[in-house]
C-alpha cells in the first residue's frame, strides 16, 4: 500500500496532494547571514549565471531556477547552504536570541544548527548533538564552511543527554527535529515510500517520545521547545506532542507562520489527542510546493523570571 493513502482524509485536496508528492522537489538554498547579506549573495549568483527566486515568506531562502549553486564560489565560501525550504520553519519557530543557550538534539548534518546560529548573530551557545558518529563529520564541515563559531558538537543519545560537561544546567530553547519515517521527503527521496512500514513508524515513536521528554526536562521554566518531523503520520506528530503534555510540565503555544499550513488533528483512528494540539502546524506538499512537514511549539512549565517581572 502507498502510505500516502492513509492521509487522504486529512488533506483538503486529495488530487493536488498526490500530484505534488509525485513532482520533483524544487532545490533551494539559504543565505548564510553570518558571512554575507541577501543582496550580496544574490548579486554573486547573478554574476555566476545561477537563476533563483526569493521565496515569498523568507527572503533568505532562494529557490534555484537555473544552474547549480554547489559549484560556485559563494557556496564554497559559505555564503550559501543547501536547505529544503520548509525545513527552515523549526528554527524560525524556535526564535533563538543572541546570547541564549540552545540545544539542537538531532543536529546532523547541521542545516538547522547553523541556521540557529545565524538567527543568533553567532552569539550565545548552540549545542549541536547527534547520536550518529558517522554524521558528525558533515555537521562539523558545514559549521566550519559557514563560519559558525558559537557551536559545540556532541555525540550523545538525546534521550539521556547530560549537561554535566557544561557550566549551565538548563537551556533557554531546544529544537527536536526528530528522526522519523520521512514520508514528507518523498519528493526528493521516493525510496522513503517504498521502504515504509508501520513497524518502522512504531519503532521510531519510542525514540521520539524519549527525546521530546528529555528536551523539556533540559529546558528552563518559561523556555521553548520546538518539535518537528518530516512525516505525515499522526503517530509521530500529534501523538508525540500529546505524550509530552501527559508526562511533562509544558503547554502547546500558537505561533505564526507565513507558510500555508493546516492545523494539527485531535483524532486519529482510535486515538484522541489534547485539544491544544490544533495549535500545531501540518505542511502538505501541495500547499507551498515544498516537502511535507510538522511543527509544534511548546512552552515549558513555570514562569521565567523576566515574565514574573513583567506581571
- At residue 307, does pLDDT exceed 60? no
Q: In which region does residue 197 sit, left (phi positive, over 0), alpha (psi from -120 to 50) or beta (all else)?
A: beta
pLDDT more than 90, % of the chain: 93
pLDDT band of 305, cuts 50, 70, 90: very low
pLDDT band of 311, cuts 50, 70, 90: very low
**CATH topology identical between 3-15+86-307 and 26-83:** no
Mean pLDDT score across all residues of the chain: 95
The DSSP code sequence of 210-249 is HHHHHHHHTEEEEEEEEEEES---GGGTHHHHHHHHHHSS
Sheet of strand 28-31: strand arrangement: 51-54, 61-66, 28-31, 80-82
User: What's the mean pLDDT in 22-34?
Assistant: 97
Known binding-site residues for S-adenosyl-L-methionine equal 106-112, 130, 157, 177
Parse the chain into domains and list their residue ranges. Answer: 3-15+86-307, 26-83
Q: CA-to-CA distance for 227 and 209, rounded, in angstroms?
A: 11
What is the second-level CATH architecture of the domain 3-15+86-307? 3-Layer(aba) Sandwich (3.40)
User: What's the mean pLDDT in 67-92?
Assistant: 96
User: Which three-class secondary structure string do you get for 149-204?
Assistant: CCEEEECCCHHHCCCCCCCCCCEEEEEEECCCCCHHHCCCCCHHHHCCCHHHHHHH
pTM as predicted: 0.95
Q: CA-to-CA distance for 147 and 100, rounded, in angstroms?
A: 19
Least confident span in 82-86, 175-179, 296-300, 304-308: 304-308
What pairing do the DSSP bridges indicate for beta strands 151-154 and 271-272? unpaired
> Which residues, in sequence order, are CB contacts of 300 under 8 Å at separation 6+?
216, 219, 220, 221, 222, 223, 224, 225, 249, 250
User: What's the mean pLDDT in 144-161?
Assistant: 98
Q: Which pLDDT value is given to residue 2?
A: 87
C-alpha cell recorded at residue 13? 485536496
Closest alpha carbon to 302 in 222, 242, 241, 229: 222
| Catalytic annotation, residues | 230
**Considering the domain 26-83 in this protein, what is its CATH number?**
3.30.70.1170
Q: Which pLDDT value is given to residue 302?
A: 58
- For CA atoms 291, 159, 112, 82, the dihedral sign is negative
Helix axes 111-119, 136-145, angle to 10 degrees: 30
Amino acid at each position: 500500500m502507498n502510505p500516502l493513502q492513509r492521509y487522504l482524509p486529512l488533506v483538503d485536496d486529495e488530487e493536488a496532494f498526490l500530484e505534488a508528492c509525485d513532482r520533483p522537489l524544487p532545490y533551494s538554498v539559504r543565505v548564510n547571514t553570518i558571512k554575507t547579506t541577501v543582496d550580496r549573495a544574490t548579486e554573486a549568483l547573478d554574476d555566476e549565471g545561477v537563476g533563483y527566486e526569493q521565496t515569498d515568506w523568507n527572503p533568505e531562502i532562494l529557490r534555484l531556477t537555473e544552474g547549480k549553486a554547489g559549484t560556485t564560489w559563494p557556496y564554497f565560501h559559505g555564503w550559501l547552504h543547501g536547505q529544503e525550504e520548509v525545513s527552515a520553519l523549526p528554527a524560525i519557530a524556535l526564535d533563538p536570541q543572541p546570547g541564549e543557550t540552545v540545544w539542537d538534539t538531532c543536529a546532523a548534518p547541521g542545516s538547522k544548527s547553523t541556521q540557529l546560529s545565524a538567527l543568533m548573530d553567532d552569539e550565545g551557545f548552540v549545542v549541536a548533538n547527534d547520536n550518529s558518529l558517522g554524521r558528525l563529520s558533515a555537521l562539523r564541515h558545514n559549521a566550519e564552511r559557514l563560519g559558525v563559531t558559537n557551536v559545540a558538537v556532541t555525540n550523545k543519545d538525546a534521550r539521556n543527554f547530560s549537561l554535566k560537561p557544561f557550566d549551565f544546567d538548563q537551556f533557554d530553547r531546544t529544537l527536536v527535529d526528530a528522526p522519523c519515517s520521512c514520508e514528507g521527503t518523498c519528493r526528493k527521496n521516493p525510496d522513503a515510500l517504498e521502504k515504509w512500514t508501520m513497524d518502522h513508524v512504531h519503532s521510531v515513536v519510542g525514540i521520539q517520545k524519549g527525546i521530546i521528554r528529555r528536551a523539556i526536562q533540559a529546558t528552563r521554566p518559561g523556555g521553548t521547545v520546538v518539535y518537528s518531523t518530516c512525516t505525515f503520520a499522526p503517530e509521530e506528530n500529534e501523538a508525540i506532542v500529546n505524550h509530552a503534555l501527559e508526562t511533562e510540565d509544558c503547554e502547546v503555544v500558537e505561533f505564526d507562520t507565513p507558510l500555508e499550513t493546516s492545523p494539527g488533528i485531535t483524532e486519529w483512528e482510535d486515538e484522541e489527542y489534547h485539544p491544544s494540539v490544533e495549535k500545531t502546524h501540518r505542511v502538505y506538499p501541495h500547499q507551498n510546493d515544498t516537502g511535507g512537514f510538522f511543527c509544534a511549539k511548546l512552552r515549558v512549565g513555570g514562569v521565567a523570571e523576566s515574565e514574573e517581572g513583567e506581571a
